[in-house]
Amino acid sequence: MNKITYVDARDQTCHNRSVNRIVWAECLSYIRTLPDATFPLIYLDPPFNTGRLQQRQRVRVVQDAGGRRRGFGGKTYRSEPLESPTYRDAYSDFLGFLEPRLREAFRLLTPTGSLFVHLDYREVHYVKVLLDAIFGRESFINEIIWAYDYGGRSRRRWPAKHDTLLWYAKDPKRYTFCYEAIDRIPYLTPKMVGPEKAARGKTPTDVWWQTIVPTASREKTGYPTQKPLKLLERIIRVHSHPGDPVLDFFAGSGTTGEAAARHGRFFVLVDQNPSAVSIMQRRLAPWSPELLRLGPGEVEF
């Protein structure tokens, strides 16, 4: 069992920039307690307002002589259902929900900080207008398209196979962009650029081709909206420096935390879903994060 320590919002010792932290709380109630200009990088993957219950069914396959699934060597297996985290993704006033949280994100960024907001086609254009009002249109730097090729194909429209990441800088004249830290990708026609360039690869554009987390991957946590580690690693390497604290207050499965920790950054992850907190605690155990919740006393978790 692990202890979640309940903290008083006025206790500034819980705001140490050099400590990894998972916070079980409604995000707005917690981030309002944080000091101004604390984070050089904030990544947010909020609900997409799909109107659906978000869930991924999880099963475990075990060998069983009476099982119905047949595998290598004639062995048979059965499937056992596992706990499947869920959350309801529907809001009557989605922008009203997001606005105070995005305003807090603006307050929490350092002068050279960046905010990334990850959405899909349903709400991204409305949220961009909202962010323009909060940051100023001149602070909008990039619309990044994360394109993937997985899942079903509609026969009534072009299949939706991309998400959008909106990048805003606190100050559009000075922000962190570590060009040398960009991971390079292969040329589509390497023979046309010559062996030297082909070996080095090219830098990505604002369209990032990256698979989702594969079903059978060791990276898979079972959280319904988990994002791939490589996606967050690119953002964290390029838009922060080693030793920086990174904030994600829609933390879900904790991908931001793992990406940050793997590259020498600290993380503060906030989520109100107990399943998310449990998944993050297991996933991020190698980096020994604090487990906090606003309020008095302690509780076993």
What CATH number is associated with residue 241?
3.40.50.150
**214 against 135, higher pLDDT:** 135
Region 11-30: mean pLDDT is 83
98 and 127 Cβ atoms separated by less than 8 Å: yes
**Beta strand 162-169 pairing with 140-147:** antiparallel
Identify whether residues 174 and 117 lie together within a single domain.
yes
Identify whether residues 154 and 31 lie together within a single domain.
yes
Q: Which of the listed residues 66, 88, 110 is the one where a domain comes to its end?
A: 88
| Beta-carbon count within 10 A of 289 CB | 24
Identify whether residues 131 and 249 lie together within a single domain.
yes
CA distance 17 to 14: 9
State residue 215's pLDDT score: 79
Identify whether residues 15 and 120 lie together within a single domain.
yes
Among 41-50, 57-66, 95-104, 239-248, the least confident range: 57-66
CA distance 93 to 102: 15
Region 9-23: mean pLDDT is 73
pLDDT > 70? residue 295: no
State residue 64's pLDDT score: 64
**10 against 104, higher pLDDT:** 104
Cα atoms in the Cβ-side hemisphere of radius 13 Å centred on 4 = 18
CA distance 274 to 183: 34
Identify whether residues 83 and 94 lie together within a single domain.
no
Region 71-90: mean pLDDT is 58
Q: Which of the listed residues 38, 72, 88 is the one where a domain comes to its end?
A: 88
182 and 235 Cβ atoms separated by less than 8 Å: no
Provide the pLDDT confidence category of residue 53 given band limits of 50, 70 and 90: low
Identify whether residues 202 and 289 lie together within a single domain.
yes
Region 97-117: mean pLDDT is 98
Identify whether residues 44 and 74 lie together within a single domain.
no
Identify whether residues 70 and 151 lie together within a single domain.
no
Q: Which of 268, 300, 239 is nearest to 27 (CA)?
A: 268
Give the mean pLDDT of the chain: 87
Among 75-79, 190-194, 220-224, the least confident range: 75-79
Identify whether residues 61 and 144 lie together within a single domain.
no
**300 against 186, higher pLDDT:** 186
| Contact partners, residue 122, CB within 8 Å, separation at least 6 | 48, 49, 50
Identify whether residues 26 and 78 lie together within a single domain.
no
pLDDT > 50? residue 100: yes
Region 89-118: mean pLDDT is 94
Identify whether residues 176 and 38 lie together within a single domain.
yes
pTM: 0.83
110 and 40 Cβ atoms separated by less than 8 Å: yes
Identify whether residues 82 and 207 lie together within a single domain.
no
What are the tokens at 216?
Answer: 């059978």
CA distance 265 to 147: 27
The whole domain housing 77 covers 55-88
| Beta-carbon count within 10 A of 135 CB | 23
**Domain total for the chain?**
2
Q: Which of the listed residues 88, 110, 144 is the one where a domain comes to its end?
A: 88
177 and 238 Cβ atoms separated by less than 8 Å: yes
pLDDT > 50? residue 157: yes
pLDDT > 90? residue 298: no
